[in-house]
Amino acid sequence: MTIRVLLADDQALLRGTFRLLIDSCDDMEVVGEAANGEQAVNLARTHRPDVVLMDIRMPGTDGLAATATICDDPDLTGTRVLVLTMFETEEYVAKALRMGASGFLGKYVTTDALLGGIRTVASGEALLSPGATRALVNRFLSAPAQGTFLATPERLSDLTPREREVTALAAQGMSNDEIAAELVLSVLTVRTHIQRSLAKLGARDRAQLVVIAYQAGLVRPESSSF
């Protein structure tokens, strides 16, 4: 099945570059281009893409507001937003995830990482770059939002050794493909471990799983690879 992608970026040169990269893949196609958030919302409703590659800083309606509108639209439940930005700050990462974004990548990513990220998000998985993971962890560990729970080591007691290992690697910003390569497992097996860990820990999504892993001491900031 072809992954249908909508590009949302105010820089025409970048949109053109992304279009060339995406259209060169047999399993992807660009179905539209938007120069601001309002256009992104309108085109998403028209084309119903599988993935919106969304910049944050755009004139008028920005990418965060557009992400919230798209993710709240019941007619766009099949559309996922992958945020691509130069600014992997704590504030932007936290806001993008709260707005419903399925992934967050920096614009410095390699071509393979970008295309792989689109495929990951299109498959229904969440994606956080190492930089976004670091920003997320720093935000929640240094100043948890009001009402945010603090996970204790006991919270991890229900995880199997393999689930702990997979969760720890996910907390370091590794994708399922990277974890599979690291542990010599199939991607399906890694996905199963992630889903079981989410269920056992009561985590809403991969981002919350990352926070729990750090709060419970499964991974420590100084020992992470990013």
Domains of the chain by residue range: 3-128, 145-223
DSSP reduced 3-state for 7 = strand
Contacts of 10 (CB under 8 A, 6+ apart): 35, 36, 55, 57, 58, 59
Query: Which pLDDT tens digit goes with each residue over 173-186?
Result: 787 888 999 999 99
- What is the residue type of 139? R
The architecture CATH gives domain 145-223:
Orthogonal Bundle (1.10)
What pLDDT does 29 receive? 97
Q: How far apart are CA 197 and CA 159, in angstroms?
A: 7
Q: In terms of C-beta density within 10 A (0-12 exposed, 13-18 middle, 19 or more buried), how is residue 204 classed?
A: exposed
Q: How far apart are CA 20 and CA 221, in angstroms?
A: 37
Q: How far apart are CA 54 and CA 66, in angstroms?
A: 9
Average pLDDT, integer, range 122-135: 69
CB 71 within 8 A of CB 37: no
Q: In what order do the strands lie in the sheet with 80-85?
A: 28-34, 3-8, 51-54, 80-85, 103-106, 127-128
Residue 87: pLDDT band (50, 70, 90) is: low
DSSP reduced 3-state for 51 = strand
Residue 88: pLDDT band (50, 70, 90) is: low
Supply angle C-alpha 45, 50, 54, rounded to 5: 75
Residue 211: pLDDT band (50, 70, 90) is: confident
CATH number of the domain located at residue range(s) 3-128 in this protein: 3.40.50.2300
- Predicted structure pTM score: 0.69
Query: Which pLDDT tens digit goes with each residue over 30-66?
Result: 999 999 999 999 999 999 999 999 999 899 999 999 9
For residue 39, give both structure tokens: 């256009």
